[in-house]
Amino acid sequence: CVVQRVKSASVTVDGHVISRIGHGLCVLVGLSAEDTAECADWMAKKLLSVKFFAGEDGKHWKRNVKEVGGEVLLVSQFTLYFRTKGANLDFSRSMPPDAARQCYQEFVSKVRDEMADPDKVKDGQFGALMDVELVNDGPVTVQIEYPEPPSQKKS
């Protein structure tokens, strides 16, 4: 997942805004061919527990999205799992569409289950051409992977 701390974000499909959030996280959700239900569960918990936000004392990296009452916008993004073949893009590392649709919906459900207020979790439209608009706060943009790379684990 590519996670962006935002002041606001929205998804528009066919000229109609279908989802909108205020302060929170905009998450581009890529699903690889190797992803499992275990991965989705881990990612949902990790996404909502990482301290992207300042504390009440103004110090950075003290609170997570639930602690600040923020919102989450999830956007399916199969293009995150690409490789190049010459000058061409190859998406064979991405999960096939039917499996990805089910896995993505399960992930959205897991994030809603983990969130203090499930109404604060919005999503795009799987498989649609979407316009994603956001105001990045910081800017803060990170990538969270499963399994967590050793370089990101605390020693």
Q: What residues are annotated to the active site? A: 77-79
Rounded to 5°, the CA angle 122-152-4 comes to 25
Instruction: Count Cα neighbours of 32 within 13 Å in the Cβ-side half-sphere.
Output: 12
Report d(CA 97, CA 92) in Å as an integer. Answer: 11
Query: What's the farthest any 2 CA atoms get from each other in the chain?
Result: 50
What DSSP line would sit under 8-49, residue for residue? Answer: EEEEEETTEEEEEESSEEEEEE--BTT--HHHHHHHHHHHHH
